Structure 1
């Protein structure tokens, strides 16, 4: 093989290595990794968020006097008729079952409680809900039984009263609509509660807050723990009445006046917590020096020397009429009354109700809001994932790490677990709803972590043209030299060997011609 051919083969090998290995390797090392997100599946869930959800709530019905063998079937027909009278934005239904005392008692021993309707014969027709259980009592009389109206009364009580929260949010209502946005805080599973005792002067004071929290507020925290977990801190603040003395000239005030007058800067700056949301309870006593006669705008009675105001999205303000004496001790009895009022106001601050007077039953209301919050969290998570999809499609240079893909898959897997709980009537107990709510909170957390992943933004501001600007000073000369050299090689042709005669110069040719004329070149001697 000639030297030229060897050079050509070497040039071809260089080009092949450059094209097949070099360029792909450079592209791989400089390319942004984008994990394949399940776009179509998320789009389907976004367009039809609850297409595979049918919330089924089991209700057990019993009668203490009359034995109605088919009352659960008759009530089921009436319940279905009422539910179908409105268009449902999320499918839900009640499954009316015959009461089984053995089953209910066994489930109760394991901490599982179900909704129970008790039919009680009385002189009037009505209903009542237990304050501390999920038991609804329907009162009926004999004429009601004779007219066969009892199934309708049961259905009406269940749909329009016991499950009024579901009836409001899921039937012809907006699931994401919060009727108490102006007062309630945004829902989060963890809320910090700051309890502060404020005095307008600096005289020492003590309070039996530990006893009150242990005996009264701790059970209340446990009651709300499936919905909200509270962390609590307490403090005593001196020389601060939140600027309430500025209202002392007013005879009557509303909560709006209090909201505009109070100065919360000191309380806000002294509280540090890791939770996303916080609520406050501030118990304020006036200064004995500046307000010896107390706050004139507080109306008192023989049993009550204070008044409370709800400050929207902040908490509750308890304002006392008279100042404290030096070295006073605030008793547990006083604090119990304050915390009873505060516990009722918490339902409004958490968005569970807009009016405590209209609260059907705390236990039933909390149970209903477990389901509503679960569905709202599912909706919020899917909206977050869809926003993530749109964001990654809009910014093609945005990286999508594998961790983001794993979190997205985890969100979708959790959603399937929640749907299985919501759709299964055999899992309609307290523990199942608690588990569904806990899973939905994790669903929100993972979706937000996927959306706000810091790795996605690192290379978002390094577009492709910047890469070319960085690498062209290196890649450009290499490419030009390599390809121009190969082209030159293939243009070059191999020269044929020259004869000895072709290598003679013109002077030598003349000399040879003269020699040939005299015959010397053939070896003939010249004769004179």
Structure 2
């Protein structure tokens, strides 16, 4: 072979190269078919806009609608003001009592000097600054024999300054009467009039140069004695209330505090209306009737009329025959020493047969006060309490029970009718029990003074109760941020605060009847706000319940949106890395 001749490839080699090239093209075609075509820039931005549109709808429309429809409405409450009332920082209760002194037989200068001397003696005796007595001189032109019912509007002089005051604002009227017979000075408190008659001798009038006198000391001691129980009750009320901040609280002895504690425990909570139920129970068919209407008219109606300025009363009566003892107590036992049947003291609490005797505690719109008159069977009469021989007892915050043992001969039967005269002892006992259940003080001996004391005590207790309720509502609002507060609650709170201010101002001015009215409204509005139905329901719907409701609904919707957003972010990250390489 010559050097200029080229080397020719064999046919077999040419065939192998052709087959390899064909196989490579086939593989490249298969791979090209498996991979999707590259996205255009417009397609990428379209996908991004779709994802963003879904998220925009969720964020800009869905979340605001959900927030608006599920947000719990909370009206604005003056929480700091409410807390200040509860802490006693807004109002310090004071009880200025005006005492009018009528001295027609004394010259004006002597009467004014006597009042100043007595006032100094009163201030020295007073240990309770929140309760103070202020003496005022009545106009000498008023006749000394004028009755309290005809006082109307009187003119009074306080330290020589004449002022006008209504008789309702005068706690007590002192009539200074010169007397030559009997020991002087002496006093007589009228039982059915807020009047204290003081008899003195002319030589007991202090001269203008003296700073004290026996008459002034006597008047100061008498006034201090008359209002001693009221001072103790108000001091106990202020000391036991967390809302009271008085600069000087009168210290009470343990015995006095224990007595006041028992009185407050057995008395009903104040209510605008009480329902009185008088029931006659008998284990036999007699007595089957009683003159209760006449007895109530004579013995009860005058008292209820006197109490009308504090509370209203409704009355009903009932008769229940064949009323057996409660099976939970021992049967009466015969006492040979007293020749009477007796009940043990430990059985008195179960004397009322609640299962069979119709004594419903929910009659009427207010608390029901029950008075039970039980006439025992002739075979078990007379029936008394074994330990003390009494025939009546009081059930705290429920009512009273009296066992009436009719005076009958051994051969006669139990009368079928209880007359008004026969009911008189029972009605008087029920009246005393009603006084205890309403919280009427036991002294002084004048009924109008005791009722006016009750009015002041009730006004103060209602003011403290409403203030305490405001504080509880403020603490509840702060402790439960998810609780709803409707506008009605805010309105009731505003009404409560407004009437509390009025009540506090009336107390400072000595207008105790007005203070009671405003405190009554304030307490009712505070209770209405605290026990709002829609607000109380939210307390029993915690946040865990909301999560359990929302998760099954939001889960299927949120997963696709979140996964699409994550995938797009990952693709964007890969493209940025590819561009960087």
Q: TM-score range by the shorter chain?
A: 0.7 to 0.9
Measure how far apart 1:272 and its partner are. 4.7
Does the Cα contact within 8 Å between 1:309 and 1:318 map onto a contact in 2? no
Q: Tell me if the contact between 1:136 and 1:162 (Cα under 8 Å) persists in the aligned partners.
A: no
2:230 aligns with one of 166, 180, 187: 166
Give the structure 2 partner of residue 233 of structure 1.
Answer: 316
Match of residue 310, structure 1, among 369, 372, 394: 394
What does the per-residue CA deviation read over 1:14-50, in whole Å, with 9 as the maximum and x for residues that have no partner? 5344323321321221222233332211221222266
2:68 aligned with 1:28: yes
Which of 424, 429, 435 does residue 347 from structure 1 map onto?
435
Contact 1:178 1:351 in 2 (8 A): no
Task: Name the structure 1 match of 2:174.
Answer: 117
Partner deviation per Cα, 1:97-142 (whole Å, 9 max, x = no partner): 1113779833389884622122233432333322112112234334
User: 1:480, 1:101 → 2: CA distance?
Assistant: 94
Structure 1's 102 and 400: CA in aligned 2 closer, same or farther, altered over 3 A? farther
The 5 Å alignment of 1:278-297 reads: 278-288=368-378, 290-291=379-380, 294-295=381-382, 297=384
Residues 1:113 and 1:255: Cα distance change in structure 2 (over 3 Å): farther
Q: Name the Cα RMSD after superposition.
A: 3.6
Q: Work out whether residues 381 and 443 of structure 1, in 8 Å CA contact, stay in contact via their aligned partners in 2.
A: yes
CA drift of 1:190 comes to 2.3
2:184 paired with 1:141: no
Contact 1:410 1:446 in 2 (8 A): yes
The match for 2:498 among 400, 403, 413 is: 413
**Long gaps (5+) in structure 2:** 1-40, 143-149, 155-164, 207-211, 242-259, 576-581
1:339-362 C-alpha deviation (Å, 9 max, x unpaired): 233223322232223xx5x54322
Give matches, 1:129-528, under 5 Å.
Answer: 129-142=189-202, 144-146=204-206, 148-158=213-223, 160-171=224-235, 174=239, 178-181=261-264, 183-203=266-286, 205-240=288-323, 242=325, 246-250=331-335, 251=337, 256=345, 259-260=348-349, 262-265=351-354, 266-267=356-357, 269=359, 272-288=362-378, 290-291=379-380, 294-295=381-382, 297=384, 307-313=391-397, 314-322=399-407, 325=413, 328-353=416-441, 356=442, 358-425=443-510, 428=511, 433-482=512-561, 485=564
Q: Deviations over 1:179-230 (max 9, x none)?
A: 4145433333322221122223114632221122223311211112223322
Separation in 2 of the partners of 1:124 and 1:368?
29
Residue by residue over 1:387-419, the C-alpha shift from the partner in whole angstroms, topping out at 9 and shown as x without a partner, is 222233333332222222222222111111111
Describe the superposition over 1:417-469 as per-residue Cα deviations: whole angstroms up to 9, x where unpaired. Answer: 111211114xx3xxxx3332233233222222222222123233333343233
Contact kept, 8 Å, 2:84 with 2:90, in 1: the verdict is no
Larger RCO, structure (CA 8 Å, separation 6 or more): 1
Distance 1:312 1:439 in 2: 28
* Distance in 2 between residues matched to 1:467 and 1:298, nearest whole Å: 61
Q: When the two structures are aligned, how many residues end up with a matched partner?
A: 471
| Partner SS for 1:70 | helix
Q: Which range moved further: 198-207 or 260-269?
A: 260-269
CA distance in 2, matches of 1:442, 1:129: 34
* 1:311–1:317 CA contact under 8 A, matched in 2: no
Query: Cα 1:100–1:178, aligned 2, differ >3 Å: closer, same or farther?
Result: farther
Shift in CA distance, 168/296, structure 1 to aligned 2, threshold 3 Å: closer
Alignment partners' CA distance in 1, 2:395 and 2:538: 44
Q: Which residue number corresponds to residue 4 of structure 2? A: none
Aligned to 2:186: 126
CA distance 1:311–1:149, shift in 2 (3 Å): same
Q: SS of the counterpart of 2:401? A: strand
Deviation at 1:376, TM superposition (A): 0.9
Structure 2 equivalent of residue 106 of structure 1: 152
User: 1:275: Cα distance to partner?
Assistant: 4.4
The separation in 1 between residues aligned to 2:394 and 2:567, in whole angstroms, is 88
Larger mean Cα displacement after TM superposition, 311-320 or 477-486: 477-486
Work out whether residues 174 and 198 of structure 2, in 8 Å CA contact, stay in contact via their aligned partners in 1. Answer: yes
Q: Following the alignment from structure 1 to structure 2, what is the Cα–Cα distance between the partners of residues 474 and 308?
A: 68
Equivalent residues of 2:383, 2:403 under 8 A apart: no
- Whole-Å Cα distance in 2 between the matches of residues 38 and 3 of structure 1? 58
What displacement does 1:236 show? Answer: 1.5
Report the Cα distance in structure 1 between the residues aligned to 2:466 and 2:501, rounded to whole angstroms. Answer: 13
Change (3 A) 1:256 1:412: farther
